[in-house]
Chain A
Amino acid sequence: MISMRKSMKKFGAAALAMLFTVTAAGCGGGSTSTQGGTAAGGTAKIGVVSYLSGGGAAYGEAIRQGLELARDEINAKGKVKIELVIEDSKGEKNEAINATNKLIHKDNVVAIVGPTLSGEMFAVGPIASQAGVSIMGTSTTAEGITDIGNTVFRNSLPESLAIPPAVKKAKEKFGLKKVAIMYSNNNDFAVSGFKTFEKAIKENGMEIVTTETFADKDTDFSAQLTKIASLQPDAIMVAGLYQEAALILKKAREIGLNVPVVGNNGFNSPQLIKAAGSAAEGAIVASPWYPGKDDATVKNFIAAYKAKYNKEPDQFAAQAYDALYIIADALEKAGTTSDVKKVRDSLAAVKDFHGVTGNFAFDANRNPAMDVTVLIVKDGKFTELK
């Protein structure tokens, strides 16, 4: 009897939750459709697959916020109307696949933004490609992403373009001769970053004293760093995400390893400085996103983001924000909100787009062609390394 009552309660809660969702969805649908009525071509449904719960939720959350800010601005301008259908991938390939299938076949979205991780993109890219739906990664930096299919795009700078300038600049500036590498070996993005690092280091004529690995979500790096410290490298190159990177920086400084640390794209977040504190000094990264840039678009974006979310935007938010503007641009030029083929062709033709991450165009392989700035953390801030 008791168990009956309990399960009844659970059903009650579930029913209530569903009711809420339905009401919320209903409201969303209602308001957008009235907005859609005023615009000429109706509302374009854009799917979003993002890492919103679990270990990497911090990244997915930044991406969602960047997208929602852009959506509100675009809808306010009124040239195109966008409705976002947001799905959580939990950072897992199977969840990402389910979400993508739902977006394509049930919600009939015209394009998809996401997923967050390169590994997830390798899983869902083929699905979107087969359905002819454009899918754009905003944080997928691994090699070979756009080789998946001709509807796969990305506006995140691939590691192969970001890491070599950072390595080269660091070598010139600090006269590096021998370096140690650390990378996360259970993350496609970091493994690809490691390979690029290795190549760039060799091309610049430096010696690799040791290569150490760790895993995403690791918290103890004392063993690797004690080993690295005993080999006395001139610098450490790290491929990973900022949570682990911050812990590595902290531990390195704690055991007296005060050498420059060159990072991959994962380093490029104010969270790195926040989490590592003074230990972040001397961290180097190449990035298309530089919040200190003297540019009206960048300044407006930072102000709007701060006003809405009460925190500094990071690279993930910035690239997501740009991604939706790029899609809006393509939608406007394609003059449709439902024809996936036209939208794809229009996206592929995007060029001379000026976003918060600089001047942007897709190259022939749907990778971004954009400029990078090499940054170093100095006095608790990313500043340009000159």
Chain B
Amino acid sequence: MLLQQVVNGLTLGSTYAIIALGYTLIFGVLNIVNMAHGEIFMIGAFVGLMLVTKLQTGIFTALAGAMLTGAVLGYLLERIALRPLRRREVSHLAPLISTIGVSIFLESLALKIFGPQAQSFPPVFSGQLFELGTLKISIIQIVILAVSFGLMIALRFWLAKTKMGKSIRATAENLETAGLLGVNTSQVIIVTVMLASGLGSVAGVLVGLAFNAVEPTMGITMGFKGLAVLILGGLGNITGAMVGGLLLGIAEVFSVAYGESSYREAVAFGLIIILLFIRPQGLFGSGSAQGGR
């Protein structure tokens, strides 16, 4: 039972972690909370679902297709909702509001196209069950854990070792300085937003697979969880987002397993509040508070 609940928590937590990664990337580079992230996540889930049900593709094609769609959406988001605001002297809240606009648009669009009913992936993808003693792990849980951990590790490596990754980190450090040093910052920003949105879409497919409810409003709660993880892990910190996501997942599952299920969210978010009392900068946030840009 304990081990089983740990697996449940890790599955839930790793999806939170991937969503939070998307927020973190964009926040790190642009200092913007992208409120449309949850809806890009939802669109990704629908694209994956359509690929699987309408075109009978495999699950990995569906993941790739969702990622691609997410990246395209990210590109559009950057060009339409973020870039025009960056060029001008506007309040730093303006991009927040414009991304909220995008999120409402995407949700309404999905409602029009796909309808309000929750749809689910065909049972082929949730069939097998591995039993290790008393522990039961479904193939889907394994896929989710593998894909999310794989993506997290790949992302870390990419950011640390490649030229593009270094440019992203430099831009995150300071936009103007990076620009002065020859980094093409507008390209970096586009790549970051596309990458973040692609990750969000993949998370959508994974969540759709795991919990079998793909519907137009699924992005809202998941979006808020991602935001909570963003704060918990430390704003703009990649490791923080990963660890924070897993912690939140496990905290939620354990509060149900060993406490009262009514307090699921209260316990999870209570923990976040306590943690922020002790470490206001989040789990992995740097000590010195960065001045808002």
Contact = CB atoms under 8 A, between A and B. Distances in A.
Given A214-B261, A217-B221, A247-B211, A227 B256 contact: yes
B261 A213 contact: yes
Interface string A209-246: 00011110101101110110010000000000001001
B20 to A, nearest CB: 16
Contact of B116 (A2, A58, A214): A58
A223 B5 contact: yes
Interface residues on B, range: 35 or more
A61 interface: yes
Contact of B129 (A58, A227, A254): A254
B11 A230 contact: no
B35 interface: no
A54 B217 contact: yes
B231 to A, nearest CB: 21
Interface in A324-381: none
B253 interface: yes
B212 A185 contact: no
B84 interface: yes
A277 interface: yes
B120 interface: yes
Contacts of A213: 260-262
Contacts of A271: 117
B217 A275 contact: no
A224 B117 contact: no
Contact of A223 (B116, B217, B218, B257): B257
Interface residues on A, range: 20 to 34
Interface string B1-35: 10011001101100000000000000000000000
A interface, by DSSP: helix, strand, loop or mixed? Answer: helix
Interface string A241-263: 00100110010001110000000
Contact of B11 (A53, A222, A255): A222
B212 A226 contact: no
A57 interface: yes
Interface string A1-14: 01000000000000
23 contacts: A55-B217, A57-B111, A57-B116, A58-B118, A61-B115, A61-B116, A212-B261, A213-B260, A213-B261, A215-B265, A217-B217, A217-B221, A220-B12, A223-B8, A223-B256, A223-B257, A224-B261, A226-B1, A243-B215, A246-B118, A246-B120, A254-B129, A271-B117
Interface of B: 1, 4-5, 8-9, 11-12, 84, 108, 111, 115-118, 120, 123, 126, 129, 136, 138, 207, 210-213, 215, 217-218, 221, 252-254, 256-257, 260-262, 264-265
Interface of A: 2, 53-58, 61, 185, 212-215, 217, 219-220, 222-224, 226-227, 230, 243, 246-247, 250, 254-256, 271, 275, 277-278
Given A219-B212, A246-B118, 14 more contacts: A53-B116, A58-B117, A212-B256, A213-B261, A215-B265, A219-B207, A223-B5, A224-B261, A227-B256, A230-B1, A247-B211, A247-B213, A250-B126, A254-B126
